[in-house]
Chain A
């Protein structure tokens, strides 16, 4: 809402030294979001000039300029060059003289142009900072609007500050000068001259016939009729100027007046050309298949929920959103039917959204308009049309008003103090409520406090120690009736807010509450932090990526058509149609992040990310929209949770290029499958889990170089080298590798507490075992077999050599393990160690046909 300061001053006698900026600060304190304050940069001299002569002079560039002499109230005429042609000799224009500065910081000086010295210029509406008035030329004043030499700044109120206020949804009344003026009046403690305080001249019946079929959606519908207007009359400059300053373009007197009254009072108005109406106006819901051409010349398919204004010809407007083209006021209109109505905010909001049509009217109706305004607004429009367009107001008036009157809310006098924790005296609180426009009375003896007054049974309150708020008077009940323009004031806390903002948020004390004592981070939260710290210690850098993905990513990853990671949760309105899905695998987006880094020259990359992934459930259910008047039942709450997809936290890693560079120490080493697997092991061991690892084939990994990690038989993720095609598709260096683990699953598998085991101080016995095996036997399985066979004397086992070659034959490999034996209670005898070693080898022999390698 754009609010010119000069307009506001009409309703509040603000002190002369109040500027847009200082007013803005006051309004911010009162809870309005003042986004910008436009201060006029205009300085004179700027005067009224009368065109004495002009000469049309065609120029080489195809333009024709006018060389004009102007009477600016001095002895000699002022000579200027002008590019516009919308004026004649004798017209009054606005002339800026050398030394002046126009809005935007344009300094004016006498300058040579088109072969003349132009001593200033004739101004257009835009140049004066008034916005585009649609004339495509300079401003021509009305005859008699001024005399040559008059100060045009004063005449046109050009140095006006304009506040731009972002009106929050609860403050619909501030979408009007009246509403903002009310706030300004309260802020400065001044009386408000209410522009809606008009004398109603209507009779209350006999106006244009109206029938309201849906009295829930339309609780008031008022019409007035003005006949014999001169529709071609231009709106007066002051009115045009205010519309422009408020951000609307003047169109014609009929339209301008309705817009003006809407800005002034906040009541959207629709004007109909009476001659184009046929039969009664009927307010009803649409029937399916109905269509309407709206004022913007769009044909709208109407929905059965749309509330319509109709006549015998069918729909003539979508109520509260936009009127129809067929009945609009035009240049030939003489008789106008004025509609000022009150519509249900939700009905209007839905229609506005359904038709993607947000109008000045719908914005106001959605936020609810003062339901007592329609008669006054209609009167105001009629008065202005009579005054400015020569119309005659018919006394006959239609008033269909079923809107209920505001009901009192019963609150404790100390409720604002209880909500704020500030010592707000009851008397002060009630005065603040009166300032807002509420009617405040002591509640009847048998009155009961309205519900939703929080904390009335709370045990302790700080403010009670303050002298200025007496507990006894505080508990007295008051009946507070909100003003008609504040339908948002419903609950005790709504009134508390009004009191507190007028009391001043700055005056509320600052008290740090004492929590009863927490348990610190959860196990899961702690483990997540440790995983991240360990990965950073291992040289990895944490990155982020958006969770949006699509088939292109899955194709690049080489996921088969039936891969369950292609079954995704999809968005109805994704940022990009190419990426409609929520990621089911962290790699689909992390690989893109890696790609971007590699593309920017970071080819030796070690990155990780933790993020949720989104796994649709086998059966998709809708999450119900439950009632809000009480807590839903546990089963209803559960149905909400059950409807959501599984969203486990994953950790993903991508390694590309060199792990260690070539340097003075020797040759560098590329990051490979084993580094990826090792990082996965690192993550598992950080959370205290010993995973089972085995070879599997799974995209996007190399079919021979992918490790599957599982815990207690449950697969928790994979690590290894990426498939060459995947590297290519994501533009990564060949042999890049990746990890993806379900971090939640790993964390859950971690120990609750670690129990210490005593360790032996007896000497260790070391034995090496080398086994020749078939090449496809997994080292982990062999190690497991040796461990099993060695029994409890085995302290540790480590694979220290892998050999393939001629000595052991094709299709074979040799694995060498270092075994350490130790007993808790004695020094082991050589025979014991030899037996344990032999038992270990025996299991490997039986299980894999291993042959001990000797020498």
Chain B
């Protein structure tokens, strides 16, 4: 912008006439409106707002006016210039928006196309369910205990009140470690972790132990020589069968839904006394299928209850062998098979699917069961 021109001092200058300014303004406004794109707008800007534009020239003429007239002319020009600037800015926003819209439209892609980075893999459902069980119990303040898979026979059997020649010991179809008399077995249940927990911890003991166990069964649709169990153990003052029931009820609700419960049926295990089998109320029919041939339930075989595992009050002989003061403490324990749980909970029909390591089996689950 140029400064006042002192050599030039006309009293009256045409471009500063109100009509002339209005014309200049209107021409600029219509030029901006007519500009169809940003390039045209830019060109119109040079014409109507550039250094050689009428409004710029008019501004320069102000210096030629007598000082008394300058103020009024200045205001007039200012008003006109503001109108032109505003019109430009307004049009610029519109055209830029139009331009962006066009550009984005041309960049449209098919978002359904596949891409080459690896898709999410999957956990094995046995791992997922182990972790879920562990989470249920850590939320109750329990610890997750672990132990080795090749285990001392004493911990797997003797400490748990399986006497050497008792039929119960034969029922377990044990893998023995060579040589004969090694005193080592593949653990037949997760219960030796109970013994380990009691040998190493002081009561109160609240532990949950998911783990892999072994029995000499041939693999078929419902058996596998290698399978997973979860075992729970509590040793504390005043622990009763009622606490076992309360814990199992909570476990059932956590795994299968509100309103369900566990049922105990008396049974025999060497390491618990009293002992019971655990049934859970069928989470599908909730008992509605019992005696109701019109509504058969595949999950529970219309029994209303599903066999789930074993449990009981820890046999004081076990407490004694593991150094727990039986005068002061009592305990309970429970255990169930995780494959079996997946079979009825998630509809897995064939045990072999669970143990063969076919990726298609894991992939159905992803990260969730």
A residues contacting B by CB (< 8 A) are 28-31, 33, 168-171, 345-346, 349-350, 353, 366-367, 418-422, 451-463, 491-494, 496-497, 500-501, 505-506, 508-522, 525, 529, 532-533, 535-547, 569-575, 582, 593, 596-597, 600, 602, 605-609, 612, 614, 620, 622-626, 628-631, 637, 640-641, 643-645, 647, 659-661, 663-665, 668-669
B204 touches A663 (CB 8 A): no
Residue interface mask B264-283, A partner, CB < 8 A = 1: 11111010011110000000
Give the chain A neighbours of B120 by CB distance below 8 A: 536-537, 539
Chain B interface, number of residues (Cβ within 8 angstroms): 111
Give the chain A neighbours of B142 by CB distance below 8 A: 515, 518
* Cα separation A9 to B319 with both chains bound (whole Å): 42
Cβ-closest 10 pairs across A and B: A539-B118, A421-B240, A631-B323, A31-B266, A421-B242, A623-B183, A168-B268, A497-B274, A515-B141, A593-B357
- Residue in chain A with minimal CB distance to B315: A493
Segment from B25-33, B81-89, B121-129 that makes contact with A: B121-129
A660 touches B274 (CB 8 A): no
Segment from B3-11, B163-171, B343-351 that makes contact with A: B163-171
A509 touches B245 (CB 8 A): yes
- Residue in chain A with minimal CB distance to B225: A575
* Cα separation A492 to B313 with both chains bound (whole Å): 12
* Cα separation A213 to B330 with both chains bound (whole Å): 44
Interface centre among A463, A533, A582 (most CB of B within 10 A): A582
- Residue in chain A with minimal CB distance to B141: A515
Give the chain A neighbours of B115 by CB distance below 8 A: 663, 665
B138 touches A454 (CB 8 A): no
Which of B141, B148, B326, B330 contacts A516 (CB under 8 A)? Answer: B141
Segment from B42-50, B57-65, B152-160 that makes contact with A: B152-160
- Residue in chain B with minimal CB distance to A417: B240
Q: Is B181 an interface residue (CB 8 A)?
A: yes
Task: With both chains docked as a complex, state the minimum distance between the C-beta of A319 and any C-beta of chain B, in angstroms.
Answer: 15
A569 in contact with B316 given A512-B246, A517-B141, A665-B116 (CB within 8 Å): no
Give the chain A neighbours of B261 by CB distance below 8 A: 510
Total residue contacts A-B, CB cutoff 8 A: 344
* Cα separation A545 to B356 with both chains bound (whole Å): 7
A574 touches B175 (CB 8 A): yes
A33 touches B267 (CB 8 A): yes
Query: What are 18 A-B contacts with C-beta separation under 8 Å?
Result: A171-B268, A353-B170, A421-B240, A452-B326, A460-B237, A462-B242, A493-B313, A493-B315, A500-B274, A505-B265, A511-B242, A511-B245, A537-B120, A540-B121, A547-B226, A572-B176, A637-B199, A640-B155
Task: With both chains docked as a complex, state the minimum distance between the C-beta of A671 and any C-beta of chain B, in angstroms.
Answer: 9
A628 in contact with B158 given A31-B267, A505-B276, A660-B117 (CB within 8 Å): yes
A169 touches B171 (CB 8 A): yes
Which of B124, B267, B273, B356 contacts A542 (CB under 8 A)? Answer: B124
A457 touches B249 (CB 8 A): no
A542 touches B123 (CB 8 A): yes
A518 touches B166 (CB 8 A): no
Which of A500, A506, A518 contacts B206 (CB under 8 A)? Answer: A518
Segment from B13-21, B67-75, B95-103, B360-368 that makes contact with A: B360-368
A606 touches B264 (CB 8 A): no
B243 touches A512 (CB 8 A): yes
Give the chain B neighbours of A367 by CB distance below 8 A: 167
- Residue in chain A with minimal CB distance to B262: A510
B182 touches A622 (CB 8 A): yes
Given A169-B166, A597-B359, A644-B151, 12 further pairs, Cβ under 8 A: A421-B241, A455-B328, A457-B327, A505-B263, A510-B249, A512-B140, A519-B143, A536-B121, A569-B178, A628-B159, A628-B317, A643-B183
Q: Is B355 an interface residue (CB 8 A)?
A: yes
Which of B168, B170, B242 contacts A509 (CB under 8 A)? Answer: B242
- Residue in chain B with minimal CB distance to A546: B226
Give the chain A neighbours of B183 by CB distance below 8 A: 622-625, 643
Q: Is B37 an interface residue (CB 8 A)?
A: no
B240 touches A418 (CB 8 A): yes
Which of B122, B315, B330 contacts A541 (CB under 8 A)? Answer: B122
B residues contacting A by CB (< 8 A) are 113-124, 126-127, 131, 134, 138, 140-144, 148-155, 158-159, 161, 163-168, 170-171, 175-184, 186, 199, 204, 206, 216, 218, 225-226, 234, 236-243, 245-247, 249-250, 261, 263-268, 270, 273-276, 313-317, 319-323, 326-331, 354-360, 362-363, 367
Task: With both chains docked as a complex, state the minimum distance between the C-beta of B32 and any C-beta of chain A, in angstroms.
Answer: 44
Give the chain B neighbours of A538 by CB distance below 8 A: 118, 121
A520 in contact with B123 given A452-B317, A497-B266 (CB within 8 Å): no
* Cα separation A821 to B168 with both chains bound (whole Å): 71
A623 touches B182 (CB 8 A): yes
A516 in contact with B204 given A458-B237, A575-B216 (CB within 8 Å): yes
* Cα separation A510 to B117 with both chains bound (whole Å): 51
B360 touches A602 (CB 8 A): yes
Give the chain B neighbours of A669 by CB distance below 8 A: 116
Give the chain A neighbours of B116 by CB distance below 8 A: 660-661, 663, 665, 668-669
* Cα separation A561 to B282 with both chains bound (whole Å): 55
Which of B121, B124, B186, B316 contacts A453 (CB under 8 A)? Answer: B316
* Cα separation A645 to B158 with both chains bound (whole Å): 20
* Cα separation A602 to B322 with both chains bound (whole Å): 49
* Cα separation A496 to B274 with both chains bound (whole Å): 7
* Cα separation A458 to B226 with both chains bound (whole Å): 40
A454 touches B177 (CB 8 A): no
* Cα separation A94 to B359 with both chains bound (whole Å): 60
Which of A30, A349, A494, A641 contacts B273 (CB under 8 A)? Answer: A494
Give the chain B neighbours of A518 by CB distance below 8 A: 138, 140-143, 206
* Cα separation A516 to B250 with both chains bound (whole Å): 17
Task: With both chains docked as a complex, state the minimum distance between the C-beta of B208 and any C-beta of chain A, in angstroms.
Answer: 10
B152 touches A623 (CB 8 A): yes
B148 touches A571 (CB 8 A): no
Task: With both chains docked as a complex, state the minimum distance between the C-beta of A109 and any C-beta of chain B, in angstroms.
Answer: 26
B121 touches A491 (CB 8 A): no
A546 touches B141 (CB 8 A): no
Task: With both chains docked as a complex, state the minimum distance between the C-beta of A640 and any C-beta of chain B, in angstroms.
Answer: 4
B118 touches A508 (CB 8 A): no
B204 touches A515 (CB 8 A): yes
B355 touches A607 (CB 8 A): no
Give the chain B neighbours of A641 by CB distance below 8 A: 152
Which of B113, B138, B225, B265 contacts A29 (CB under 8 A)? Answer: B265
B357 touches A545 (CB 8 A): yes
Give the chain B neighbours of A420 by CB distance below 8 A: 240-242, 274
- Residue in chain B with minimal CB distance to A367: B167
Give the chain B neighbours of A366 by CB distance below 8 A: 167
* Cα separation A345 to B218 with both chains bound (whole Å): 29
A644 in contact with B240 given A511-B246, A622-B182 (CB within 8 Å): no
B123 touches A536 (CB 8 A): yes
Interface centre among B163, B168, B240 (most CB of A within 10 A): B240
A597 in contact with B358 given A454-B330, A491-B317, A493-B315 (CB within 8 Å): yes
* Cα separation A316 to B126 with both chains bound (whole Å): 54
- Residue in chain B with minimal CB distance to A513: B243
* Cα separation A455 to B184 with both chains bound (whole Å): 33
